Amino acid sequence: MKLVIDTSSIISALIKNGISRKIIFSPAIQFITPDHTLKEISKYKKLICKKAKIDSKEFTIFVSYHLS
């Protein structure tokens, strides 16, 4: 399944451990986003990892799998 998602929705889902995070980490869903989304999310990588309590590797896996 492919879904269109904006940057703020992705960041919010990464930060809060809830249903949104489960959805974005689902291997059954591929997200479609504008090109600048990757740059914007990467800009806040440290903050997202800290608040989401995920490591850099998990962050990279998500971004490369779902948003590339």
| Cβ(59)–Cβ(31) below 8 Å | no
Q: Render each residue's pLDDT in the chain as its tens digit; 68 residues.
A: 888 888 898 888 888 888 987 887 788 888 888 888 888 988 999 999 999 888 999 888 877 876 66
Domain encompassing residue 25: 2-66
- Domain tally, the chain: 1
pTM: 0.69
